[in-house]
Chains A and B, each alone.
Chain A
């Protein structure tokens, strides 16, 4: 089975621009969650999608949004980029995203905002 695939691997943008990141989960997994990783804040939960519906959301501003398609692939969008949005964005998938289920992480997209 292929693992969780995130594209692109690296991205450089300037302040004020917007960006879209993509995540393809493991085949058969219907839950996709997104995390932001920064040296100062560690790993923070952004949101989780299941069957094309946002099921859970972290404490991020509305500039951060996402969606999930019928094939479970997910995209994350950040509008009006700020310098502080520079981070590694990680996507994780699981079969149903509940309880004690194991999460499988992608290698992440490293976003640099200049």
Chain B
């Protein structure tokens, strides 16, 4: 079945550091890929998405590129802020229309 493997946390960075959170997936066909973010005490919010190979999703300075050859969708940001502290989830939606999540990566940014 479909699965998502995500870099384990927690990740702690200083403000303005470069961020990468790795995500790889296993799926049949051509899934859509997503990054969701969960701020403390809140539900998930869609951060960005990509629906086909080589697509780049971007939002709020975050980017991720759909790499079919490496089955990856790594999340990057060039300069993180304290307000980026949250839990980040990589997810895919395949042909069965179910959304499959990774286990989440807790990110803490220190000033």
A residues neighboring B (CB under 8 Å) = 4, 6, 33, 35, 41-45, 48, 55-56, 58, 90, 92, 97-100, 102-103, 105-108
Asked if B97 contacts A42 (CB within 8 A), the reply is no
Bound form: Cα–Cα A99–B100 in Å: 13
- Residues in A whose Cβ lies below 8 Å from that of B74: none
- Residues in A whose Cβ lies below 8 Å from that of B99: 33, 35, 45, 103
Bound form: Cα–Cα A33–B45 in Å: 15
Asked if B43 contacts A90 (CB within 8 A), the reply is yes
Return the chain A residue nearest B104 by Cβ: A42
The 7 A-B residue pairs with the shortest CB-CB distance, nearest first, are A105-B43, A42-B103, A43-B101, A105-B44, A107-B43, A100-B51, A100-B32
Main secondary structure of the interface of B (DSSP, over half): strand
Bound form: Cα–Cα A99–B51 in Å: 9
Bound form: Cα–Cα A97–B41 in Å: 25
- Residues in B whose Cβ lies below 8 Å from that of A48: 97-98
Bound form: Cα–Cα A101–B100 in Å: 15
Q: At the interface, yes or no: B77 with Cβ under 8 Å from chain A? A: no
Return the chain B residue nearest A40 by Cβ: B103
Q: At the interface, yes or no: B83 with Cβ under 8 Å from chain A? A: no
Bound form: Cα–Cα A42–B44 in Å: 13
- Residues in B whose Cβ lies below 8 Å from that of A108: 43
- Residues in A whose Cβ lies below 8 Å from that of B103: 41-42
- Using known A-B contacts A99-B93, A105-B45, A107-B41, determine if residue A42 contacts B51 with beta carbons closer than 8 Å: no
